[in-house]
Amino acid sequence: MFEQLGLIGCGLMGGSFALAMKRAGLVKRVVGYSKSPSTTERARQMGVIDVEAPSALLAVSGADIVLLAVPVSATEATLKAIKHLVTPDMLIMDVGSTKRDVIDAARRVLRDHVTSFVPCHPIAGSEASGVEHADADLYYGRQVILTPIDKTSTNHVQSAASLWEGLGCKVLRMTPEAHDSAFAAVSHLPHLIAFALINSISGQQNGKDFLQLAGPGFRDFTRIAASDPKVWRDILVANRHELLDQTKLFRQSLHAMEQLIEHGDTDALEQAIAHASDTRANWRMGSKKPA
Amino acid sequence: MFEQLGLIGCGLMGGSFALAMKRAGLVKRVVGYSKSPSTTERARQMGVIDVEAPSALLAVSGADIVLLAVPVSATEATLKAIKHLVTPDMLIMDVGSTKRDVIDAARRVLRDHVTSFVPCHPIAGSEASGVEHADADLYYGRQVILTPIDKTSTNHVQSAASLWEGLGCKVLRMTPEAHDSAFAAVSHLPHLIAFALINSISGQQNGKDFLQLAGPGFRDFTRIAASDPKVWRDILVANRHELLDQTKLFRQSLHAMEQLIEHGDTDALEQAIAHASDTRANWRMGSKKPA
């Protein structure tokens, strides 16, 4: 049980965390700060936070747990803003989709206090953004990846793991490098593809007409294309080396299938589709609840 | 109200059509044929069809309406098998995702009787296949595209339109060419990309580990990758010219974003993502029920 959560960033991810923590009885009080005062006010009105803080630093004052829920490129500036109030007993977590850049920023800014920082990535989210979509169930049943480094306090890692488990999550640990490789493939690349596909279609002369005909397959395939631009700009740039390696492999895979289609090699094409189809049909999302 | 539906292909699409027609009271009797006798038997046991036919020709005997629900490359052989029993009063429809190749086959085989053939594409489906997944609601609320040609009987087109409307569908008409262009972009390309992405990831050394980490975004993005290999092999090859034009545009769009990422041009990248995000967030599926 924590006394006070200092929430920095009261959007979808941060707001949902605050709601879940309260519902689980894991925190007494939430003090929140968002860059936009209207977001902070709205979060208080909605009961997502209890007290509005006028700065990140004041959100951290008196907190025994801090969550950074800001676009990953804002991590460094946020840590700079709060570093004077960080104590060894304070658990600081983030929810960023990339981990190496976030850890680098934490090392640079927090120095010895980097022991307090447990890098987290809950595999949850929504194409909707903003505190209006905050949902106490967002994290329930999902996987959460912790990527502690050598300096991270073991106690804080255990505390973070217990906390996420208390929210109904399945906790995994891995290195920041392994994390960033994996999510380049299964998350960052799919988002990039979805953005590129929408822009490719909408940029065509008949693009609007085409889009009006699209059905449920397209709806699900492109859902992630509606994601927050600032958040995803940061992720794609922060993990660009791994991501560009993945786009290269994807292009090769696409090209191989295009060749089969162009040459009418129906047997090999059917085999390639069957391989994908079997793989996907047998895939189950790692979680505590059914996919 | 039709007397007898001759159903050729008792899988997901055909089976769902039979169930929907019966529920709507639009047909008295369904005689079904599938290439695999066990499918036909299962369809009868499930009440999807009333009578098992031992051949496509016998499924058509006595029918006033015929539905071809087979992979598009099987259209020509199926029409050849039934052509001796086709009459001018018989309404023949298909449910294929490509229209030019199906129409070419119908012209070649049916000749003067091509008047009976109304090419249809209901924008509905599922990554699941087989009669076990037949669902009376599959078509409800969805769009159905009719692509009649000059020779198609106006009465049959009206009859087909009324029938689909009776199943709760929104009926649109367009040329086969416009249909195939649009669906290359909004359906065939997304399927190809989904197949290629799954094969790209699963072909990597750590691919299996990567897949275990994937979350709800990946789940929805790749749902269509589990689609039926024979059905999609046919569609991708049948519409290959339009499809390969679309892959070219998609590659350009992807490349442009990759360049922005590589050069760290965050402003232009955010703009490109925002364009995609706004477009997708404002998109609504054309249907009679909410997306």
Average pLDDT, integer, range A26-54: 97
Secondary element (H or E) of residue A183: helix A176-183
Mutate to test the interface with B, among A187, A201, A208 (most CBs of B within 10 A): A201
Q: Which residue of B has its CA nearest to A217?
A: B224
Per-residue pLDDT, A200: 98
C-alpha distances in Å from residue B271, one per residue of A56, A232, A266, A290, B278 = 28, 11, 40, 36, 10
- DSSP character for A187? I
Measure the CA–CA gap between A95 and A145, rounded to whole angstroms.
Answer: 9
A288 band by pLDDT with thresholds 50, 70 and 90: low
- How does pLDDT run across B137-156, given as a tens digit for each residue? 999 999 999 999 999 999 99
- How does pLDDT run across B163-184, given as a tens digit for each residue? 999 999 999 999 999 999 999 9
Positions in chain B short of pLDDT 50? 290-291
Pairing of strands A143-146, A120-122: antiparallel
In this prediction the ipTM stands at 0.92
Q: How many CA atoms lie within 13 A of B290 on its CB side?
A: 0
* First-to-final CA distance of chain A: 30
Contact state of A249 with B211 under an 8 Å Cβ cutoff = no
Measure the CA–CA gap between A160 and A142, rounded to whole angstroms.
Answer: 15
- How does pLDDT run across A124-170, given as a tens digit for each residue? 988 888 999 999 999 999 999 999 999 999 999 999 999 999 999 99
Residue with tokens 């007397």: B3
A287 band by pLDDT with thresholds 50, 70 and 90: confident
Contact state of B251 with A251 under an 8 Å Cβ cutoff = yes
Mutate to test the interface with B, among A206, A254, A289 (most CBs of B within 10 A): A254
Average pLDDT, integer, range A242-267: 98
- Report the topology of domain A2-174: Rossmann fold (3.40.50)
Please check whether residue A259 is in contact with residue B196, taking contact to mean a CB–CB distance below 8 angstroms. no
Measure the CA–CA gap between B243 and B150, rounded to whole angstroms.
Answer: 26
Per-residue pLDDT, A290: 47
Per-residue pLDDT, B230: 95
Q: Reply yes or no on domain A178-282 having CATH 1.10.3660.10.
A: yes
Q: How far is A180 from chain B (nearest CA, A)?
A: 10
A289 band by pLDDT with thresholds 50, 70 and 90: low
Q: Extract the tokens encoding B105.
A: 């086959």
Q: Extract the tokens encoding A69.
A: 């829920």
Query: Is pLDDT of A122 > 90?
Result: yes
Query: Is pLDDT of A291 > 60?
Result: no
- Give the neighbor-by-neighbor strand order of the sheet with A2-8: A51-52, A27-33, A2-8, A65-68, A91-94, A117-118
Within 8 A by CB and 6+ apart from B231, the residues are B71, B72, B97, B129
Contact state of B257 with A195 under an 8 Å Cβ cutoff = yes
Q: How many CA atoms lie within 13 A of B35 on its CB side?
A: 11
Domain residue ranges in chain B: 2-174, 178-281
CATH class of B178-281: mainly alpha
Please check whether residue B120 is in contact with residue B93, taking contact to mean a CB–CB distance below 8 angstroms. yes
Per-residue pLDDT, B127: 83
Per-residue pLDDT, A126: 83
Query: Is pLDDT of A256 > 70?
Result: yes
- How does pLDDT run across A171-221, given as a tens digit for each residue? 999 999 999 999 999 999 999 999 999 999 999 999 999 999 999 999 999
Per-residue pLDDT, A99: 97
Q: Which residue of B has its CA nearest to A241?
A: B262
Average pLDDT, integer, range A77-94: 97
A158, with CB counted inside 10 A (0-12, 13-18, 19+), is exposed
Please check whether residue A56 is in contact with residue A30, taking contact to mean a CB–CB distance below 8 angstroms. no
Per-residue pLDDT, B288: 65
Which residue in the set B275, B280, B286 is minimally distant from A213, CB to CB? B286
